Amino acid sequence: MKKTKIKIRWPNNNETYASEGDDWFSTAAKAGLEIPTGCLTGSCGACEIDVNGETIRACISNIKNKKKCLLKVTLTTDPFWEN
Ligand code: FES
């Protein structure tokens, strides 16, 4: 079965494509962004991002396409994303 590419719009307005199950960190890197990390076990919340309004922890989540063609990624408090 062919995987559908998922379009992702990042806070820097770059757009990338990913497949379901891809990890958030490498996909963010393709957009020129680095998601902050801490524990990498889902405990600290340093890697939290908002995806279409839903907060997820990037270190314990993979990219999922919930019937939307575009995943819009934002951070509510994002001092690390400013550059
Ligand atoms: S890096 Fe700590 S929750 Fe993801």
pLDDT at position 79 over 60: no
Q: pTM to 2 decimals?
A: 0.81
pLDDT bucket at 65, cuts 50 / 70 / 90: confident
Q: Tell me the one-letter amino acid at 83.
A: N
Q: From CA 59, how far away is CA 4, in angstroms rounded? A: 22
Q: Ligand 1: distance of its center to the CA of 1 in Å?
A: 32
Q: From CA 70, how far away is CA 19, in angstroms rounded? A: 12
Provide the residue ranges of all domains of the chain, joining segments of one domain with +.
5-74
Domain at 5-74: CATH code: 3.10.20.30
Q: For residue range 1-55, what is the model confidence (pLDDT) as tens digits?
A: 556 789 999 988 999 999 999 999 999 999 999 999 999 999 999 999 999 888 9
Q: For ligand 1, pick from 37, 56, 75 the residue to mutate: most ligand atoms within 8 Å of CB.
A: 37
